[in-house]
Chains A and B, each alone.
Chain A
């Protein structure tokens, strides 16, 4: 790391910590992408009508008659007696599994109401495991809003899978974080070409493909919101690889170099493999960056992707971050990112949405990254916005997606210029 860069970066920037109304999803939302990733898993939320309604609203459209997720809606009689609630849960699970013989993993997902009434889903999972093993493995985690913010639901899900992973002494790499299959395949191609042995992914696409780990396993995150999973894997003896996250050409390059270094693979070999895709990515990003250069950007807290994205947009696209909000700031995992993010923006953690709206109105940034509840109201106030949720649903990691990632931010600006050319001046 160039020390001059580090000095001007955000590592020591004081963080504005806020408490108040949070305009964010709860962790249940992660089910929307996790169930697509794990093709033989079913996610059963034990919760209220609100939980079911949230999932439906977050999923946006219903593509599947019988999706691989559902909500066991608690009713008044379940609240009256927990013993009955357990019996009801067993019955619903048995019915579900008999209708869906393709299911190999069942996640019981805790919600706000199930946490508050202290419905013990860990014990329920044990009980159901005994009943349905070996055909189905039953796990549990909490995606409740009282415990998890949006992407933390994936963290809780993956963390719950860690104790069940097998043990190996083979040297290898475990890549952690759900990526779209196409991106995962690109990544596996790069890692194979570099010569990384035994590359496995968590989550795996199928139950049978779940990885094993041990003291010779290196763990590298591809998503910044997986702190608990990371800690659980390290606790099981795996060795962490710390690096910036693979967003943009620079992030991808630094990430691949860090991984290769952990396996003592020479830098030249990495450089040889990445030369072409890296150049391609830089070229493509440069085209899109023309729209973004010099534009001021404001991040509302949402997915914990905010700091890595601000780093990418600032360093590779020439944008000027004004405020970078994140629901939680994990100093340890975010250190390499903060070292790269140029000093200047306010860093905020947590949220008081009304106060943050006051700040964004005062700052009048060129682009505001925010949740779906805020986007149209801010547009109506004349602020261009980018929906944050698209950043977790769209393939954005590694070289071939670097320009697509930049494009997600450029499109609202280009659109605004098309519709109101006078305002774009």
Chain B
């Protein structure tokens, strides 16, 4: 038993729904109690889908448990077939139905429907959403994909994009364009917008592009084994990764590399106004794939310092740990939201790149944030084209990450005019909506030192640990622009602790500044 307040991933049957909802001509009959239909709103509200997910819930209630839930399932499956006429059906159980052991697969088989019926076995009490999506897609592919003659021209399948995925819709467009520039056609894209008949055509492609290991790695491995289709290992998020990916595709296909078109990110990062981005401390958390990609972009393409890197899906723990090592940090692999929050509060980064959960943490701690990974909310399904993959994805990422930060010139102004009433900390970046209000005059904190409690709205301004801040030094600390104050505070406290100083004065503050000067 584990106490959970917020979860990064839903149960595995929600992963199966992400596959079913992405596809066309497929129907999911889910043995589930009343109430599990809540999952529909994830798709219709968060993703603004204009269709209900193709899911029939058996909706059993307490009175059915003593009677015949198995017949309830059979009726639901039969009626769903009659009403929706799908090309194929997936059947399975949600967490409660798993306990009553009705065997949806066997029951559906007994109906002898004239279409493929694919049973799913998704253990609800040990696995989660990403596993559910990966396993469901694998089972569909396993049943439907058969060896076929390859297309004459070089072609590939795009595999992995699902419903409710972070920018999957636009990534598919971008990848199709990128591969098209090499003369590679997309044979099938799946699960997103694929029909069961399309899945049956998968074997005609020369290789597979594994876009999201979280949702399609098992299927990719299966297709490699069954059909001899190689698959790409590199996820093309970021300029460097996109180049590596194209090189990988060139190796697989023997085709020449395409010309780079439309890539602006490297010049934007190199231009002088971006100097202020140097060494900004970022904390990165998300699914393994997006977190690893984000860390590479942050460190090597934008010039940030990666101070924290983590993921919530244990399946990606190994590559994530390896990536963290290259930045000289310890990886954080956890699905405990409070643990992530505590780590962010401890590290006091200047930018958080995370999921919608970290956006809430960021809001509470007053730290700028950009979203890089599922789980995401309605605002992460923008109307505009905004992929993460490919060269346009690199451009989008640069803009998205820089936007929440105070802009370069503005930072200089803040430093120059930091005593000015309009440029105090709480004013915030000028390109954001919040109204700048004049600084309250009574800034003085009469207490000699304040506690290190982090339960408040903002970052801790006072002392933490055993070192206390004298009133003068604390006031001086507040004069330091807020985006470097966390670093200054931490460095000063570490310096003080190392020197055995227990009370920080203005002198200690500036001695520490000199000590850490680079």
Point out residues on A near B: beta carbons under 8 Å. Answer: 20-29, 44, 46, 48-50, 52-54, 56-58, 61-63, 65-67, 69-76, 78-79, 85, 88-89, 91-92, 95-96, 112-113, 115-117, 144-147, 149, 354, 371-377, 379-380
Query: How far does the Cβ of A366 sit from chain B's closest Cβ, in whole Å?
Result: 20
**Residues in B whose Cβ lies below 8 Å from that of A91:** 1
Query: How far does the Cβ of B56 sit from chain A's closest Cβ, in whole Å?
Result: 6
Whether A376 touches B59, Cβ cut-off 8 Å, given contacts A49-B11, A49-B128, A72-B2, is no
Name the contact of B3 in the complex, choosing from A26, A62, A70, A379 (C-beta under 8 A): A70
Do B33 and A145 touch (CB < 8 A)? yes
Do A57 and B96 touch (CB < 8 A)? no
**Residues in B whose Cβ lies below 8 Å from that of A354:** 79, 83
Whether A50 touches B124, Cβ cut-off 8 Å, given contacts A62-B360, A145-B36, A146-B96, is yes
Q: How many residues of B contact A (CB 8 A)?
A: 58
Query: How far does the Cβ of A43 sit from chain B's closest Cβ, in whole Å?
Result: 11
Do B36 and A73 touch (CB < 8 A)? no
**Residues in B whose Cβ lies below 8 Å from that of A56:** 6-7
Bound complex: CA A246 to CA B163 (Å)? 42
Query: How far does the Cβ of B102 sit from chain A's closest Cβ, in whole Å?
Result: 12
Of all chain B residues, the one with the shortest Cβ separation from A93 is: B3
**Residues in B whose Cβ lies below 8 Å from that of A96:** 3
Residue-wise interface mask of B (17-57) relative to A, using a CB-CB cutoff of 8 A (1 in contact, 0 not): 00000000000000001111111111011001111100011
Query: How far does the Cβ of B375 sit from chain A's closest Cβ, in whole Å?
Result: 9
Given A50-B14, A92-B3, 7 further pairs, Cβ under 8 A = A26-B34, A65-B341, A69-B5, A85-B1, A374-B44, A376-B45, A376-B48
Q: 3 closest pairs, A vs B, by CB?
A: A26-B35, A145-B35, A373-B40
Point out residues on B near A: beta carbons under 8 Å. Answer: 1-7, 9-11, 13-14, 33-42, 44-45, 48-52, 56-62, 64-65, 76, 79, 83, 94-96, 99-100, 123-126, 128, 338, 341, 357, 360-361, 364, 377
**Residues in B whose Cβ lies below 8 Å from that of A116:** 65, 96, 99-100
Do B124 and A65 touch (CB < 8 A)? no
**Residues in A whose Cβ lies below 8 Å from that of B2:** 72-73, 75, 92
Query: How far does the Cβ of A212 sit from chain B's closest Cβ, in whole Å?
Result: 33
Bound complex: CA A26 to CA B59 (Å)? 11
**Residues in B whose Cβ lies below 8 Å from that of A58:** 38
Do A21 and B57 touch (CB < 8 A)? yes
Do B125 and A74 touch (CB < 8 A)? yes
Do A75 and B59 touch (CB < 8 A)? no
Query: How far does the Cβ of B77 sit from chain A's closest Cβ, in whole Å?
Result: 12
Whether A117 touches B50, Cβ cut-off 8 Å, given contacts A21-B37, A50-B36, is no
Bound complex: CA A373 to CA B41 (Å)? 4
Do A89 and B1 touch (CB < 8 A)? yes
Name the contact of A49 in the complex, choosing from B60, B124, B361 (C-beta under 8 A): B124
**Residues in A whose Cβ lies below 8 Å from that of B49:** 376-377
Name the contact of B1 in the complex, choosing from A21, A66, A78, A374 (C-beta under 8 A): A78
Do B40 and A73 touch (CB < 8 A)? no
**Residues in A whose Cβ lies below 8 Å from that of B56:** 21
Do A76 and B125 touch (CB < 8 A)? yes
